[in-house]
Chains A and B, each alone.
Chain A
């Protein structure tokens, strides 16, 4: 499996802080 575990983790929504800046 040519996947890196850290790469997989980095796709978590919890890691995506750009959502902080979105209009609610």
Chain B
């Protein structure tokens, strides 16, 4: 005897089974389902196609879809694992997983390193470091003379570049973060531990019965 009610839920193009995503990330199945509620909201803000476009990402971060920001651009590009210009649900969950309080610190450092490797050469070069400092100063309307910026970049670079080859590699970056853990403070979002409380509606749309 079948049930008279069958729930038909329409999923977005990049939708992935929450059980699989939960097995590959620090999230539980319920948390992945709650993230789907967030994803639906973000991905329908401008174009309702179930994908997060860069303008929607900027809108969510800055309440302004046109606002440009070097670091938001880099984060979007890293979330867009397939490099097709949009963030799919699976990419969203896998990338946010790095920001989970329980994610390995090494993953957080590697993500930050890739973020800072603007030219994606596998190294952070001095020019990239200066470019990022200047971008932050522009963003925050802080005025520092070029001499001061040069001095800050020089000091950081000489501390990090322990091999003295003019570039910061991943090992050097890891060592520096170990000495200054606050450098990756933004790589942890405590909020992710409470995601099911923020989006309780996931219960009504859940496909997986949770036994966690």
Chain A residues close to B by CB (< 8 Å): 1, 3-21, 24
Q: Which of A11, A17, A21, A24 contacts B75 (CB 8 A)?
A: A17
Which of B23-31, B58-66, B202-210 binds A? Answer: B58-66
Q: Which residues of B contact A8 (CB under 8 A)?
A: 133, 136-137, 152
Bound CA–CA A10/B182 (angstroms): 9
A-B residue pair count with CB separations less than 8 angstroms: 99
Whether the pair A11, B140 counts as a contact (CB closer than 8 A) is: yes
Least distance between B11 CB and chain A CB atoms (Å): 21
Residues of A contacting B135 with CB < 8 Å? 9, 12
A12 with B69: in contact, given A1-B155, A19-B61, A24-B63 (CB under 8 Å)? yes
- Within 109-135 of B, Cβ neighbours of A (below 8 Å) are at 115-116, 129-130, 132-133, 135
Tell me how far the C-beta of B28 lies from the nearest C-beta in chain A, rounded to whole angstroms. 17
Q: How far is the CA of A5 from the CA of B152 in the complex (A)?
A: 6
Q: Which residue of chain B lies nearest to A22 when distances are taken between CB atoms in the complex?
A: B60
Interface residue from A1, A9, A18 paired with B116 (Cβ < 8 Å): A9
Q: Does B20 contact A (CB under 8 A)?
A: no
CB-CB under 8 A from A14, the residues of chain B are 61, 69-75, 139
Point out which of A1, A5, A7, A9 has the most chain B C-beta atoms below 10 A from its C-beta.
A5
CB pair A7 B183 closer than 8 Å: yes
A8 to B148, CA, bound (A): 13
Report the minimal beta-carbon distance from B77 to chain A, rounded to whole angstroms.
Answer: 12
